[in-house]
């Protein structure tokens, strides 16, 4: 299984809806030099939303919007489980981690269908089958962002209400120190 990551940016919360929206993947090289071409992605209408790519830890359902040259928008809902037990604990913990901004990323799990190796290293996945979206702690694709909206209706009115916020790495918080890479 291959993975591609995106950065999470929370703009609003609704504890009843538990809806997260954003870009599942962008065509920018990730931190490993890999590129997923959004126009070559195939996926089902609904796919599982997992916790940290653990196939035995589903926390909700995700739906992708129409792929564009800028990326693939998504809407995901973290399940609201009412019955006490491990599943309720896991879904509540996942939602709480997103709300607290401890988990700031998403990642697609996919199967390559057509790919090529890049001259500078990395792989360009021209076609792939995306079979899951995960909430992750450390994203590799820092160019895509996620927004959480207040109502599911707003998402449908604006084709998931998603826009690419930045094509570069996110700004560092005030007082942070930017490290130079050692090339």
In-domain check, residue 105? yes
Q: How confident is the model at residue 81 (pLDDT cuts 50, 70, 90)?
A: very high
Q: How many domains does the chain have?
A: 1
Question: How many whole angstroms from its chain centre is CA 16?
Answer: 21
In-domain check, residue 174? no
In-domain check, residue 166? no
In-domain check, residue 173? no
Distance CA 179, CA 19 (A): 34
For 74-112, the three-class secondary structure string (H helix, E strand, C coil) is EEEEECCCCCCCHHHHHHHHHHHHHHCCCCCEEEEEEEE
Residue 8: predicted pLDDT: 55
In-domain check, residue 169? no
Q: How confident is the model at residue 167 (pLDDT cuts 50, 70, 90)?
A: very low
pLDDT(138) > 90: no
In-domain check, residue 12? yes
Residue 161: predicted pLDDT: 41
Instruction: Tell me the residue range of the domain where 149 lies.
Output: 2-161
In-domain check, residue 177? no
Q: Which of 6, 29, 23 is nearest to 124 (CA)?
A: 29
In-domain check, residue 134? yes
What are the Cα distances from residue 182, in Å, to 32, 52, 78, 127, 145? 15, 29, 39, 33, 26
Higher pLDDT, 90 or 101: 90
């Amino acid at each position: 299984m291959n993975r591609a990551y995106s950065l999470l940016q929370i703009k609003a919360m609704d504890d009843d809806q538990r809806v997260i929206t954003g870009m599942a993947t962008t065509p920018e090289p990730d931190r490993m030099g890999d590129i997923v071409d959004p126009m070559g992605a195939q996926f089902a209408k609904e796919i599982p939303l997992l916790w940290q790519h653990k196939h035995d830890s589903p926390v909700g359902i995700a739906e992708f919007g129409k792929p564009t040259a800028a990326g693939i928008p998504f809407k995901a809902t973290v399940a609201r489980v009412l019955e006490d037990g491990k599943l309720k604990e896991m879904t509540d913990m996942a939602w709480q981690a997103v709300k607290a901004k401890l988990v700031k990323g998403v990642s697609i799990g996919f199967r390559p269908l057509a790919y090529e190796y890049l001259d500078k290293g990395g792989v360009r996945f021209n076609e792939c089958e995306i079979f899951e979206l995960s909430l992750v702690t450390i994203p590799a694709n820092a160019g895509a962002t996620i927004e959480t909206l207040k109502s599911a209706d707003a998402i449908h009115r604006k084709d998931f209400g998603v826009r690419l916020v930045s094509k570069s790495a996110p700004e560092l918080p005030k007082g942070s120190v930017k490290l130079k890479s050692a090339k």
